[in-house]
Amino acid sequence: MYEVEVKVQADHERVRDRLGELGAESIGTVTQVDTYFDAPHREFTETDEALRIRRESRDDETNARLTYKGPLVDAESKTREEVEAAVANGDDVRAILEALGFSPAATVRKERERFRYDEFTVTLDNIDGLNTFVEVETHADTEDAVEANREAAFELLERLNLDPDDQIRTSYLGLLLADGDGDTSQ
């Protein structure tokens, strides 16, 4: 499966108001703490891949997921192949990865407010150490479907009064590391 995502820096109040005008459904807020790992056998920064454990908290419940993200598949968006699995215990998965030689590289913390609009999830992100962003995301089952889904995501950005030309293709991890703020204490 491919995650088709476009991201821009934006003022959340304006976008939240516009989502209301469009009839988007609020699907709640979450806190996410993503711990990214370096591999012992290749440099993910060179291969444009990522491996992370995500701990997501909503209300009093926390769950964990292990995610692999492949390299970007196009030059126009943040679309990547993504493989993700729920895990019963994020700490145990971390211990397994570290026993295999993977090492924690950085941690990204974010507060996310999510909305559903048609086949899209629109997320208003506050990233510790960065700024506020809006992500428009959907999925494509095949690489052939990526372009049409990406164009539809751009159209939704425009309906939100945001400019697709302002898109940021760098991950939050990449932005934090570029600023020297990647928290490696986790």
Distance CA 122, CA 117 (A): 7
Confidence of residue 182 (pLDDT cuts 50, 70, 90): low
Distance CA 137, CA 132 (A): 16
Distance CA 155, CA 108 (A): 29
| Residues 2 and 146: beta-carbon distance below 8 Å | yes
Containing 51, the helix (H) or strand (E) segment is strand 50-58
Instruction: Give the pLDDT score at 4.
Output: 93
Instruction: Give the pLDDT score at 179.
Output: 75
| Catalytic residue IDs | 36
SS3 of residue 177 by DSSP: helix
Going from N- to C-terminal start, the domains of the chain cover 2-178
Q: What is the pTM of this model?
A: 0.86
Distance CA 56, CA 54 (A): 6
Q: What is the pLDDT of residues 29-84, one digit of tens each?
A: 999 999 999 999 999 989 999 999 999 999 889 999 999 999 988 888 888 999 99
Architecture of domain 2-178: Beta Barrel (2.40)
